Amino acid sequence: TTILVLNGPNLGRLGTREPEVYGSESLADIRDSIAGAVPDDVEIDLRQSDDEAELIGWIHEAVDRKLPVVLNPAAFTHYSYALRDAAAQLKQAGVPLVEVHLSNPHTRETFRHTSVISGVATGVIAGFGSDSYRMAVEWVVRNR
C-alpha cells in the first residue's frame, strides 16, 4: 500500500513557521515519524507544494492510481473550490481521503472555521500537531 500524504502552501516551512501554533518539527521530521508508525509494506509518499495546480494534479494521480490520501490543504482548506472539486473525485472513486490539520482551526480566526474540503473528506483530524498525521495514516492502514 502507498499512502499519499499531501501538504499545501507554507507547510514546507514547518519547524520555523509559528512554532507556537504548528510545533517545532519540520515536514521531514513528520515524514520520519509517520513512516515509523506504519508496517513495512506501507509506503509513505509525502509531498508538499505551494502551487494549487500541482496539488490538484497529485489528487488526480491518486484518483487514477486509487491511492488513499492524507491531505493538509493548509490555507487552501478555506477557499479552494478547485481543490475540493479534485477531492470530490476521490469520494466518487471510493478512495479514502483524510483531511488533517496540525492546529485546531476552530479555535483560531473566523476565516479558518470553514473548510471547503471537509464535505468530500472521509474524515477530519485536527488539533493534535504531528499526531494528526500519525492518527490519519493509522486509520488508513487499519482500513485498507
Judged by CB under 6 A, which of 102, 120, 135, 140 binds ligand DQA?
102
User: Do 60 and 54 contact (CB within 8 A), yes or no?
Assistant: no
**Considering beta carbons, is residue 28 or 93 the nearer one to ligand DQA?**
28
User: Do 30 and 13 contact (CB within 8 A), yes or no?
Assistant: no
In eight-state DSSP terms, residue 74 is G
For the question of residue 79 being annotated catalytic, the response is no
User: Do 79 and 49 contact (CB within 8 A), yes or no?
Assistant: no
Positions in 29-88 near ligand DQA (CB under 6 A): 72, 74-75, 77
Binding range to ligand DQA, per CB under 6 A, among 28-36, 44-52, 57-65, 95-103? 95-103
For residues 41 and 80, give the distance between their C-alpha atoms in angstroms, rounded to a whole number: 33
For the question of residue 60 being annotated catalytic, the response is no
Catalytic site residues? 22, 101
Question: Which residues line the annotated binding site?
Answer: 72, 78, 85, 102-103, 112
